[in-house]
A and B are shown apart, each in its own frame.
Chain A
């Protein structure tokens, strides 16, 4: 190309070191994986494998942990060589890795993609405006935009075959920022070793793929569901999503927690408690529609992560506008399908 820019490389040069980290060293698990990530002799694949192993043990999102355990995560590792090259070359690398992930996803081989900028300088940087600028530019090289406090999404395709017809289905995929700065801070559940990362994960794509796989192996169930909308089967994943958000525990560093049922307007809908208990078990008394959080979990780059005035959890407002599902209201029939979906899948997908 005729012209080139080096915003990423220059931004990394300008990062400030994080003085807070001197008194709050990285957690042992992060420090341990850093030994591999920052080893100059490692290949990108070795770095990806180390990240995958860390995620299998430490990823707060249970879906992500499942995928990591089954080694189904797709990575775009940006090492020091990549980060020193032009923005255009970085964009090119992301583009090719993204394309490969999407092609794998079409057959159901992967549901999650991580773009990881591995750099000790990034990992030890202060979470200030300069780091935010870097995060924004990296997002822009991936998605074409990098505004904070917005929900930027990619999409993912799955090819299904119900024995009668092959179909293609598409899901939006949320894009979420994680970084090493979160380790030990109020957004600890969005920490990530090695530097900074964008994580893309389609629960709907994964849930549908698991259901379809199980139905292929169970002709009896497939026949039973012939007239039922397969789309509704994916709600088996709701319980896992609630488990990821978790119950509030005093002194916990969680950034999100479940809302007691009845506190939001959506909770007036069915099903009855008994049905919910069957589906959600220990979480039956919590809302399957909304949850609480200290930040908007759908925002790609939450600006509070870079606000140095926000040092303590107590200073952060609590949000109640966080949804498990999107513009959806399950009928009793749909919950039946949800239950069947969970029955089909859950045992197979336990980590």
Chain B
């Protein structure tokens, strides 16, 4: 009997039933006919009474050859595949259709899992379940590439790990949680940090990894939902040492991208391998000390936290990024970048040059302002005032002696 005749004999006389009901009946009554119908490219010669069943059978094959979700829409449950194919399901039939889609793909829930003998099946069923052989080699080659590629392992330098002892606790919690997760599953990756002329090449050629963690971590280790309109950025140098990690404003036109990414970073870079951030297993937050600022050799930048309020980062210019409270936006600290370049042009920021180089943070801040003459001084004034607010002197920072060209 021809395929069309077989299908007509089972579903031809119930054109008023939904296509799903008739297709399921075809599957349970003549399994081979179902699989043949799903695999055929049915032309216009198919009788009108079964054309909907034939079309649906082909769609079912397409759906089960990919993965899919079922979404609630105003029209009813909608099956959506990853490639965008869509099929509506009558609401009352959702459970039965879901079960049917599993069964045609070989997945069932049964009374017993044992069967040594097996049963014969048709070529049509095998082709439905295994796909066209023309694609097998290509797909296997792609899988092989994914299986055999080794992750790129990022680390944090010992020096930067030591600095965490005086940073606010949330900085360590967010390294352990947010930064680690962003590295595992970034939404966008950029090569090049646009630090400007004369900047450290290893930093300028570094990476920015962006992601959307679903939680923000606080000083006590507790978490809250991630702030709206923000992404998380992790920065590394070209040798895969992570030196900074922050919440930043998200590009409203580019989900998963930071605001002004094209000013801040090089081009988006497609990832060809997995990434992992390897952190010490016993890493714990230290005790916050507002009198201490730290220099990151890997990032060629000075971190200064004035308060321990949980914060996001806002770039002011190529040399200055400020930290602002997540709740109220107050200034909580700042990062001065390109210290090597600043030192090369402004020796006045050096307080002591032996045994190591000691610089005053407020002087470095002021030196960075001089490099951006078009920049409004407002931010700088606020930061300098905050540095002098407390009774103690503004922090000083030791930097490696080799940073200064005049160092012995």
Interface residues of A (CB under 8 A from B): 1-3, 6, 9-10, 13, 40-46, 48, 77, 79-81, 84-85, 88, 91-92, 95-97, 99-100, 102-103, 106, 143-145, 147, 150-155, 157-159, 167-175, 203-205, 207-208, 231-232, 234-235, 237-238, 298, 323-328
Partner of B69, one of A3, A9, A102: A3
Q: Which residues of B contact A171 (CB under 8 A)?
A: 115, 118
On chain B, the residues within 8 Å of A173 by CB distance are 113
With A1-B82, A6-B214 in contact, is A172–B113 under 8 Å at CB?
Answer: yes
Q: A144-B107, A155-B106 are in contact. Are A106 and B130 (CB under 8 A)?
A: yes
On whether the beta carbons of B111 and A151 are closer than 8 Å, the reply is yes
With contacts A1-B69, A81-B151, A106-B130 taken as known, whether A169 is within 8 angstroms of B143 at the C-beta atoms is no
Nearest-Cβ distance from residue A123 to partner chain B, whole angstroms:
14
Question: What chain B residues lie within 8 Å of A325 (beta carbons)?
Answer: 114, 116
Q: Check B107–A154 contact: CB distance below 8 A.
A: yes
Instruction: Evaluate whether A143 and B102 lie within 8 angstroms (CB atoms) in the complex, with A96-B139, A234-B117 already known.
Output: yes
A102–B125 Cα distance when bound, in Å, is 13
Contact residues in A for B110 (Cβ distance below 8 Å): 151-153, 172
Do B113 and A174 have beta carbons less than 8 Å apart?
yes
CA distance A145 to B136 in the complex (A): 27
B149 (CB) vs chain A CBs: closest residue: A43
Chain B: minimal CB distance from A48 (Å): 7
Interface membership of B267, Cβ < 8 A: no
A100–B143 touching, CB < 8 Å: yes
A3-B71, A81-B275, A168-B122 as given contacts; A237 in contact with B151, CB under 8 Å: no
Residues of A within 8 A of B106 (CB): 154-155, 170
How many A-B pairs fall under 8 Å by CB?
A: 170
B67 interface residue (CB < 8 Å to A): yes
**A84 & B109 in contact (Cβ 8 Å cutoff):** no
Q: Is the CB of B117 within 8 A of A153?
A: no
In the bound complex, residues from chain B placing their C-beta under 8 Å from that of A42 are: 150-151
- Chain B residues closer than 8 Å to A145, beta-carbon distance: 102, 107, 109
Q: In the complex, what's the smallest C-beta–C-beta distance from A157 to chain B, in angstroms?
A: 5
Which residues 93-139 of B have a CB within 8 angstroms of A? 98, 101-102, 106-123, 125-126, 129-131, 136, 139
> Chain A nearest CB: distance from B339 CB in Å?
31
In the complex, are the beta carbons of B109 and A157 less than 8 A apart? no
Q: How far apart sit A97 and B120, CA to CA, in the bound complex (Å)? A: 25
Question: A151-B109, A172-B113 known; A144 and B98 CB under 8 Å?
Answer: yes
Q: 8 A–B contact pairs at CB < 8 A?
A: A45-B148, A144-B102, A154-B107, A168-B123, A232-B117, A234-B117, A324-B114, A328-B116
Query: Is there contact, CB below 8 Å, between A172 and B115?
Result: yes
The answer for the CA separation of A44 and B140 in the assembled complex, in Å, is: 15
Query: How many whole Å from A100's CB to the nearest CB in chain B?
Result: 6
B108 (CB) vs chain A CBs: closest residue: A153
Which residues of the partner chain B approach A326 to less than 8 Å between Cβ atoms? 112-116
Point out residues on B near A: beta carbons under 8 Å.
66-67, 69, 71, 80, 82, 98, 101-102, 106-123, 125-126, 129-131, 136, 139-140, 143, 146-151, 153, 181, 184-185, 214-215, 274-276, 278
Are A43 and B150 closer than 8 Å at their CB atoms?
A: yes
Contact status A91-B67, CB under 8 Å: yes
- Contact assessment for B148 and A103 in the assembled complex, using a CB-CB cutoff below 8 Å: no
User: Which of the residues B118, B143, B148 comes within 8 Å of A231, measured between beta carbons?
Assistant: B118
Tell me the smallest distance from the CB of B88 to a CB of chain A, in Å.
Answer: 16
Query: Would B278 and A40 count as touching, CB distance under 8 A?
Result: yes
Q: B153 contacts A40, CB within 8 Å?
A: yes
Q: Given that A1-B82, A103-B130 are known contacts, is A172 also in contact with B108, CB under 8 Å in the complex?
A: yes
Please, which residues of chain A bring their CB within 8 A of the CB of B143? 96-97, 100
A169 touches B119 (CB 8 A): yes
A-chain residues with CB within 8 Å of residue B278 when the two chains form the complex: 40
Alpha-carbon separation in the docked complex, A102 to B274 (Å): 26
Knowing that A96-B139, A169-B119, A327-B112 are A-B contacts, what are 19 other residue pairs whose CB atoms are under 8 Å apart, sorted by A's residue number?
A40-B151, A40-B276, A81-B151, A81-B185, A97-B143, A100-B143, A106-B126, A168-B120, A168-B122, A170-B118, A172-B108, A172-B115, A173-B113, A174-B114, A204-B115, A237-B116, A298-B113, A325-B114, A326-B112
Q: Is the CB of A92 within 8 A of B118?
A: no
CB nearest neighbor in A for B146: A44
CB neighbours (8 Å) of B71 from chain A are 2-3
On whether the beta carbons of B275 and A167 are closer than 8 Å, the reply is no
The reply to whether B116 and A234 form a contact with Cβ atoms under 8 Å apart is yes
A324 to B275, CA, bound (A): 45
